[in-house]
């Protein structure tokens, strides 16, 4: 299915009902897995905000949220492999059960960096929940505890994911058919 968004033709990969149904299911899985644990969701900015907002409302547990800014793309469509911290956590996570919420894991380099960074902070556990996994671009293996969707090698936008800071507000996930 195609859509026209701000003059650009896009192929819709995941429509809003499909995304919402999967986010609800992820929330139920996380609720079951973290019963009786002090859970901290760490949302990776900026792309994961929309996903995290829907996900947190689907988790039926007391939890806290933290935010961390990382960048490995800049304004390009491919990861540079160099990870920059643009915003660090505001509270310690020592002894807490941490769940990292990410929009997309492709090369694995950013997540590898983040997991190593979290390990130095002595949490009780660290899990990863990603909306999208793109194994075709994978350079390193990283553990993914919860995966919303596995997708082919397309540069995708919508539902928080952007191209040059645009298209985050789309309710679907798609890729541009033409430039």
Mind telling me the catalytic residues? 106
Q: Directed axis angle between helix 49-56 and helix 16-33, to 10°?
A: 60
Q: Please enumerate in sequence order all residues whose Cβ is within 8 A of that of 178, keeping only pairs 6 or more positions apart, or say none.
A: 8, 9
The DSSP code sequence of 77-133 is: SS--S--EEEE--SS--TTSEEEEEEEEESSSHHHHHHHHHHHTT--SEEEEEEEEE
Residue 139 in 3-state DSSP?
Answer: coil
Give the C-alpha separation, 1 to 51, whole Å. 22
């Amino acid at each position: 299915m195609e859509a026209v968004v701000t003059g650009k033709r896009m192929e819709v990969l995941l429509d809003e009902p499909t995304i919402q149904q999967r986010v609800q299911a992820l929330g139920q899985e996380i609720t079951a897995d973290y019963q009786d644990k002090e859970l901290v969701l760490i949302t990776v900015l900026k792309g994961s905000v929309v996903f995290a907002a829907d996900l947190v409302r689907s988790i039926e547990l007391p939890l806290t949220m933290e935010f961390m800014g990382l960048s490995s793309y800049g304004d390009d469509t491919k990861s540079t492999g160099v990870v920059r911290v643009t915003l660090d956590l505001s509270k310690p996570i020592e002894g807490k059960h941490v769940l990292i919420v990410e929009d997309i894991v492709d090369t694995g380099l950013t997540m590898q960096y983040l997991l190593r960074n979290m390990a130095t902070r002595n949490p009780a556990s660290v899990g990863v929940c990603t909306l999208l996994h793109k194994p075709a671009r994978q350079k390193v293996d990283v553990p993914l505890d919860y995966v919303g969707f596995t997708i082919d090698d397309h540069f995708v936008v919508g539902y928080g994911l952007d191209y040059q800071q645009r298209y985050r507000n789309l309710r679907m996930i798609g890729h541009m058919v033409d430039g």
